[in-house]
Amino acid sequence: MSTTVRAATVRPWRLDCHVAAGDDGGAAAELRRSLMAPRPTISPRWFYDDAGCALFERITDLAEYYQTRTEQALLEARMHHVAADVGPTELVEIGSGAATKTRAILDAMSDTGLLDRYVPFDISPGIIARSAAELAAAYPGLRVHGIAGDFGRHLGKIPRRPADGTRLVAFLGSTLGNLDRAGRRTMVKRLARLLKPGDALLMGTDLAHDPAVLIRAYDDEPGVTAAFNRNIIRHVNRVFEGDADPDAFAHAPRWNARSSRIEMHLRALRDIDWSLPGLDIALRIPEGGTIRTEISCKFTRGEVEDLYAQAGLTPRSWHEDALGRYAVSVAVRA
């Protein structure tokens, strides 16, 4: 299903919406399966209801959570170099969100004189509409064509690239780290499919470094990440008429060295009976039992470049901060 909303005559932007109420793309069925597994998990997609989005925004302002501000600083420092190197005429941004980072990219593209179109892709149509209107106003002449969709299902809905232009696809925020090994490979291959020779992929990835610093980024002093983690219970309760007390769970992040990833868990502080009529299940989580809510993989340069190579892309440039905590990198379709 697709609905096109065309803004009257004032602003040159449009939005194609592929997310419809009542079509969750199998997310409920997947949640049911993952909660009934011997080691129960909840997909991180359930973090992001309105309250969860607001809590994530607060996380990005925490002293401990260096990721967002480091990525922003790298984009501001290096995008001019990247834009001059790649010469993109359009930006396709996967998971564009509030489009805060977008301006650093569009500014650099605009300075080359080539900027023509911005294609934000996000699960939230509301967020796209807001940023599309804002950016169309801020960059006169910029065409904005938003796509509201799920990156697991709807990347094929992205409009055809201009025949005589160059496309830059951006996948930032280290969202890649939330996928398991197979998922990461599939995702980079899907992104690569959006590119023709000469086009480029821009990714932001959190790097493997001091575990103590990494743990602190997910276990902040004010407890914002703990609230974010517990909010997943509240969200699932609301959608599936559940009755679990979020405060019966402790926030339990840990560093898994073998898989080079932070894992967020919720640990039952007592025996918990969780009935979820909307999923037609009732769970018992014994005291000390855990539910894993997120993996957040931390990469080496070699791993990121292997992912590019497996997708048929050639690493082009690598930009990391002075502390070696975070990288923004570019790969091209040769």
Interface contacts to ligand AVJ, rule CB under 6 A: 59, 67, 173-175, 177-178, 218, 225, 294, 296
| Close Cβ partners of 93 (under 8 Å, ≥ 6 residues apart) | 99, 102, 105, 118, 119, 120, 121, 169, 170, 172
Is residue 261 classed as helix, strand or coil in its secondary structure? Answer: strand
Partners of 329 in beta bridges: 203, 318
Minimum Å distance from CB 30 to ligand AVJ?
A: 18
Closer residue to ligand AVJ (CB): 148 or 176: 176
8 A C-beta contact, residue 45 and residue 27: yes
Closer residue to ligand AVJ (CB): 89 or 296: 296
Minimum Å distance from CB 24 to ligand AVJ?
A: 20
Which residue number is nearest to ligand AVJ in terms of Cβ?
Answer: 296
Among residues 150, 50, 71, 164, the alpha carbon closest in space to that of 114 is found at 164
Minimum Å distance from CB 251 to ligand AVJ?
A: 10
Paired tokens of 184:
């990461």
Closer residue to ligand AVJ (CB): 70 or 178: 178
Closer residue to ligand AVJ (CB): 110 or 124: 124
Please state whether beta strands 272-276 and 200-206 pair in parallel, antiparallel, or not at all (unpaired). Answer: unpaired
Closer residue to ligand AVJ (CB): 298 or 333: 298
Please report, for residues 38, 98, 276, the alpha-carbon distance to residue 31 in angstroms, rounded to integers and kept in the order given: 13, 27, 11
Is residue 205 classed as helix, strand or coil in its secondary structure? Answer: strand
Closer residue to ligand AVJ (CB): 89 or 225: 225
Residue with tokens 């599939």: 186
Cβ atoms within 10 Å, residue 250: 15
Closer residue to ligand AVJ (CB): 89 or 231: 231
8 A C-beta contact, residue 309 and residue 333: no
E strand map for 7-107: 13-17, 90-94
